[in-house]
Chains A and B, each alone.
Chain A
């Protein structure tokens, strides 16, 4: 499990998992389609090897049309998302209209870059605005920003780079994009110990967001050895 937070006090009387920080081991993904973006995540939070929450929601609202997918330290990403939500809400009132996705990404970047030595956060910013339609901005550890048509993140993403490169095609329709995200996340959850649970999805278009959940028994079946 990847974490670079150092615990200075370890209570020897407590079990190992009580001394570990909460980490969203995670598989997250975002994919553009014509009309918007599809975002997806697994639902597992671990403290060490113990699964602290098996129904986590890692798709977090920052505005009605902009969501972020969180990976890395649960505490860090929750704190960052709260601050970005505050700033965007204020900005929306000053601007008089919905903020741009690239603005949200820029605010995430300000925090993730300037506090890079204290944070462990890998974030996908995805949403819809009326200027550029559906967009995805990846803000990995360190705080760079990169716009991409499809983006994966979290510890589980390493197992599916090949699958994504082989399967993604631009200008998919909504159903194809949802199936692509579901299949990719299922494959990642199959291999990564830090990812699992259910697949949470979000489809963001001009109309706003539609959330859904795919439970364990309804996930697509792949070769299991």
Chain B
């Protein structure tokens, strides 16, 4: 079995009209056994900056800690907030430093630039190659199911409420076709002046 599928999990992010959304499942498992139903893989790194770190759970925790460390030092030295594009470059560098012994995570970034208000999404492979599309990004053990759901449901310029529905349906239905993702979900809707965190009720199997 692939090491990226040892713990299971899924993350998706989408762009909307002047907003972005990011969603994660909550399962933590060891192969087929579900150990916890309260292990979200999305972390808030700034007022309007979120990162999703699906993959091997130990690396989810370690990368989150190391990322926060680098971001804190940047904000202390530069005395300003880090924008999502810069964060993406930093994460890419962090992962490529481990090119021949990588962290087993495939991250997803979603945020709104604190100074230009531009929405931004990005995903990467486990060695830091960035991909910055205009529509949606997916990652995790049901990424193929997520691609199908997103391609079918997404359209440009969705309002925050419409975006919430779209991203929730994409994540929930993709995870329902994956034996090692699901067991609860959290969706964050990120606008320039507020963040909405919603816990979505899902199948628990």
Contact = CB atoms under 8 A, between A and B. Distances in A.
A192 B36 contact: no
A193 B38 contact: no
The 5 closest A-B pairs by CB, nearest first: A196-B205, A193-B32, A225-B37, A189-B205, A193-B179
A155 interface: yes
A191 B182 CA distance: 12
Nearest to A51: B177
A146 to B, nearest CB: 25
Interface string B22-58: 0000000101111011100000000000000000000
B37 A155 contact: no
Contacts of A194: 32, 179
Q: How large is the interface on B (under 10, 10 to 19, 20 to 34, 35 or more residues)?
A: 20 to 34
A20 to B, nearest CB: 10
22 contacts: A25-B179, A44-B179, A44-B205, A46-B179, A49-B142, A49-B178, A49-B179, A49-B180, A50-B179, A51-B176, A54-B176, A159-B33, A192-B32, A192-B33, A193-B29, A193-B31, A193-B33, A193-B34, A193-B179, A193-B180, A216-B205, A224-B183
A74 interface: no
Given A25-B179, A193-B8, A196-B179, 10 more contacts: A1-B32, A1-B179, A42-B205, A46-B179, A155-B32, A192-B32, A193-B29, A193-B34, A224-B183, A224-B204
A49 B141 contact: yes
Contacts of B142: 49
A224 B26 CA distance: 11
Nearest to B203: A216
A195 interface: yes
Contacts of B33: 159, 191-193
Nearest to A192: B32
A192 B34 contact: yes
Interface string A1-35: 10000000000000110000000010000000000
Contact of B2 (A16, A216, A224): A16
A197 B203 CA distance: 9
A75 interface: no
B97 interface: no
Interface of A: 1, 15-16, 25, 42, 44, 46, 49-51, 54, 155, 159, 189-197, 216, 224-225
A163 to B, nearest CB: 15
B5 interface: yes
Nearest to B28: A225
B165 interface: no
Contacts of B177: 50-51, 54
A104 B34 CA distance: 36
Contacts of B155: none
A190 B34 CA distance: 8
A51 B180 CA distance: 10
A195 to B, nearest CB: 7
Nearest to B201: A217
B203 A196 contact: yes
A46 to B, nearest CB: 5
